[in-house]
Amino acid sequence: MKVYISATLRGFFGRNSFVEVSGDDIKSILNFLTDEYPDSKKVIFNADGGLNSFIRLYVGDEDRSEPDQWYRKLKPDDEVLLLPSIAGGAPSDNLIPDERRKEVGLDDQEVERFGKHLLLREIGVKGQKRIKASRVVVMGAGALGSPVIQYLAAAGVGTIKVVDDNDVSLEDLQSQVIHSARDVKRPRVASARDTVRNTNRNINFESENERINADNIVSMIDGYDLVIDCTGDHRSRYLINDACALLGIPLVFGAIYQYEGRVGIFNLNGGPCLRCLFPEPPEPGLVPTCAEGGTISPLPGIIGSIAANEALKLIIGIGEHLDGRLLTIDSLYLGSRIVKVKKDRKCPICGADPSIFRVEDFDYEEFCHLKTAEDEIPVEGFTPEELARRIEDKDPMTIIDVREPHERSIMRFPDAIVIPIGQLARRKDELDPDKDTVFVCREGKRSILAINTLREAGYNGPMYNLKGGIEAMKDIMFSHEGAWL
Ligand SMILES: [Zn+2]
């Protein structure tokens, strides 16, 4: 039998997209997987022997994550899928009520501009007026936000609000097609505004060049018809999900990683939310993010276009959509599937007995493991300058690079021993507890996780991380090239 492994988890399974297993129920398959790939134990199981809450296990399109489902007999041709967080379907009522549709008209120029929509029986003049009357918030003007914003503008969405606090960088141009080379170092929202204006000057473009938090999210989205989540971190995703759920705003969700993408719709007419699917995010560093793992250039175009298409269908009220379902697409092997997302009656935000009533009262930093717990010993670190000095002084120390192999091929760290984070606990005997050990990764977050993992595994030697990671040390590494690279 085959178990399909979602892209973010493949590092724990020898980089395979599927594993051939023997077993006739979930329990025996999980045992087989963790015996064959011991590093995967930590990511699959929680302390009680259940499934980690950021992992879902599907047989076909059915969620079988709960342990009481683990002993049901499987058929030999059943497809089993392990799906981690990265983050219905009946024709629906439209999101724009008739009164609002009747308030807008289409002038001659608009009839010409949107002629190809007017030709479609399902859209027509009524549908186009609904699009014009709609007010949509796009969270993030990066890779996914680019096609979403551009297609919403091209389709004639009346009000588009874009929220993003980043400036355009050169590396953004590989996938963020809304920005161009002359926009580098400009705010993404300014560049997005120019592109939208070039498409259609009549669109009411609003923007917030601000990082979202629990204090500002509600005022940013209150009163809008629909939110599209094009962010790339768990803190933003849960914050957006919760604010939408509490305000009763439907949420279209898009996510990308390397070659794999997902689209879903949450919180539509009392349907499930992100927390129903993934009650908790993974620990930082356990599953790589899009920024660390990379992504192929057209993938956000594919996923963002589907997200924009779902948004338009919801606004007009046509077709079948992804409410209560999650579409996953593997662009490397051209596979796609749709899995059902069940409403969790115990969901703290949309369940029968909720416990979160205001986003301001919930600690998203702590929930996403971005805070250091009080009883946790803080990790000591070196700044790039300090580490460079120690290397030049030939101080005795061991440098361990915990990045994935594909990341190291971009920039090698000189004289580092390479041990991917998943293998650290098992290979701790390769470290010398009498010497200082410095851990390096891309951004300095996984190296902290590496140190905590080794502490947990009982390693007692002195350990330090490189603050800000190799990203922060880049310039020094280049300037020292002759000396010690
Ligand atoms: Zn929920």
Assess whether 283 and 220 both reside in one domain.
yes
**Total Cβ atoms within 10 A of residue 78:** 16
Assess whether 63 and 170 both reside in one domain.
no
The phi, psi pair for 362, rounded to 5°, reads: -110, 140
Q: Give the strand order in the sheet containing 416-418.
A: 381-382, 463-466, 436-440, 397-401, 416-418
Assess whether 237 and 322 both reside in one domain.
yes
- Centre of ligand 1 to C-alpha 190, Å, is 34
432 within domain boundaries: yes
Write out the two tokens for 310. Answer: 């779902």
441: annotated active-site residue: yes
114 within domain boundaries: no
- Centre of ligand 1 to C-alpha 343, Å, is 6
Catalytic residue among 244, 273, 290, 368: 290
Total domains present in the chain: 3
Assess whether 329 and 472 both reside in one domain.
no
| Partner residues linked to 19 by β-bridges | 3
- Centre of ligand 1 to C-alpha 268, Å, is 11
- Centre of ligand 1 to C-alpha 88, Å, is 15
19 within domain boundaries: yes
Assess whether 232 and 358 both reside in one domain.
yes
- Centre of ligand 1 to C-alpha 260, Å, is 24
309 Cβ contact list (under 8 Å, min separation 6): 151
Its domain, for residue 333, covers 134-367
Cα–Cα dist 444/441, whole Å: 6
Q: For the domain that residue 164 is a member of, what is the CATH number?
A: 3.40.50.720
Assess whether 252 and 348 both reside in one domain.
yes
- Centre of ligand 1 to C-alpha 350, Å, is 4
Assess whether 303 and 205 both reside in one domain.
yes
- Give how far the C-alpha of residue 198 lies from the chain's centroid of Cα atoms, to the nearest Å: 30
Assess whether 476 and 437 both reside in one domain.
yes
- Give how far the C-alpha of residue 240 lies from the chain's centroid of Cα atoms, to the nearest Å: 12
DSSP code, position 284: B
- Centre of ligand 1 to C-alpha 214, Å, is 18
Which protein residues have a CB closer than 5 Å to ligand 1 (ion)? Answer: 273, 275-276, 347, 350
Per-residue pLDDT of the chain (485 residues; tens, 9 = 90+): 888 887 777 778 887 778 888 888 988 988 898 898 888 888 888 888 888 878 888 888 888 888 888 899 988 888 888 887 653 333 446 788 888 999 999 999 999 999 999 999 899 999 999 999 999 999 999 999 999 999 999 999 999 999 999 999 998 999 999 999 999 999 999 999 999 999 999 999 999 999 999 999 999 999 999 999 999 888 999 999 999 999 999 999 999 988 999 999 999 988 899 999 999 887 766 665 656 668 899 999 999 999 999 999 999 999 888 988 999 999 999 999 999 898 898 999 998 889 999 999 999 988 887 765 555 667 888 999 998 898 888 888 999 998 887 777 777 777 788 888 878 888 888 899 999 999 998 888 888 888 888 888 888 899 999 998 888 888 787 776 544 44
Q: Which of 473, 464, 484 is nearest to 393 (CA)?
A: 484
Assess whether 333 and 445 both reside in one domain.
no
Assess whether 271 and 346 both reside in one domain.
yes
